[in-house]
């Protein structure tokens, strides 16, 4: 069943889906075991990903399907009408670019930023099949391989300056005579 969204209903939906505030919500469809939201960005211009200059000259439009956070245990899909803009900035190597919705979309991603964050947290806690089962319980279908890929793509955590480095060799099979040892010093 398809529901056309009025302005008042959109305000209620923004309460439930605050990450969609930057969009015009046109339709919500109840598909039984999932929910589909049809929307389009509210901003009239978008920034080129290369030079950062905003453009309002529309080159074309296309539909982008995004997997979003589940609602009430049901998967949610956002069908977003995305515009492609001209970039007329002198010296910019980009001719046209697709707009991104702040806090919602990223280039070449089929999941919203929110869903991606949840899956990364799941993958870091329990990667593999256990993570896939946990995600399913949260209303998100994802394979164990995808969870592993998400972890691999995460940037390495930043560490401060290493001032003391220790090595514990106790019980190591390579030096059975050594029960404990450590190396300490200032990193260079
Ligand atoms: Zn540009």
Report CA(136)–ligand 1 centroid distance (Å).
Answer: 40
Q: Which residue has the higher pLDDT, 177 or 102?
A: 102
Tell me the Cα Rg of the chain: 24
DSSP E strands, 5-73: 23-30, 35-41, 46-47, 54-55, 58-71
Confidence of residue 173 (pLDDT cuts 50, 70, 90): low
pLDDT at 187 over 50: no
Share of the chain residues as helix, strand and coil, in percent rounded to the nearest 5: 25, 30, 50
> Which residue carries 């806690």 as its tokens?
125
Phi/psi for 151 (5° steps) reads: -65, -40
Rounded to an integer, what distance in angstroms lies between the CA atom of residue 104 and that of residue 116? 10
CA atoms within 13 A on the CB side of 33: 4
Q: How far is CA 69 from CA 46, 52, 59, 87, in A?
A: 25, 29, 30, 32
Angle subtended by helix axes 129-137 and 144-153, to nearest 10? 100
Strands 58-71 and 74-86: antiparallel
Residue 74 · residue 35 · CB < 8 Å: yes
pLDDT at 63 over 90: yes
* Coil, helix or strand at residue 111: strand
- pLDDT for res 179: 46
Report CA(84)–ligand 1 centroid distance (Å).
Answer: 12
Report CA(94)–ligand 1 centroid distance (Å).
Answer: 5
Confidence of residue 186 (pLDDT cuts 50, 70, 90): very low
Taking a 5 Å cut-off on Cβ, the residues next to ion ligand 1 are: 48, 50-51, 87, 89, 92, 94
Rounded to the nearest integer, the mean pLDDT of the chain is 87
Report CA(57)–ligand 1 centroid distance (Å).
Answer: 12
Rounded to an integer, what distance in angstroms lies between the CA atom of residue 22 and that of residue 6? 16
High-pLDDT (> 70) share of the chain, %: 89
């Amino acid at each position: 069943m398809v529901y056309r969204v009025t302005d008042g209903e959109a305000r209620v939906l923004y309460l439930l889906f605050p990450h969609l505030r930057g969009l015009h919500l046109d339709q919500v469809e109840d598909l039984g075991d999932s929910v589909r939201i049809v929307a389009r960005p509210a901003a009239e211009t978008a920034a080129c990903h290369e030079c950062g200059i905003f453009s309002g000259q529309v080159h074309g439009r296309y539909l982008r399907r995004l997997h979003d956070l589940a609602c009430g245990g049901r998967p949610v899909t956002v069908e977003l009408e995305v515009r492609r803009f001209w970039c007329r900035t002198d010296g910019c190597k980009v001719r046209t670019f697709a707009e991104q919705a702040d806090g919602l979309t990223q280039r070449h991603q089929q999941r919203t930023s929110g869903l991606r964050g949840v899956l990364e947290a799941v993958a870091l806690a329990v990667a593999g099949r256990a993570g896939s089962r946990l995600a399913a319980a949260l209303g998100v279908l994802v394979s164990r391989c995808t969870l592993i890929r998400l972890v691999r793509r995460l940037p390495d955590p930043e560490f401060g300056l290493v001032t003391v480095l220790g090595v514990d060799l106790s019980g190591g099979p390579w030096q059975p005579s050594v029960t404990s040892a450590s190396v300490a010093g200032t990193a260079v």
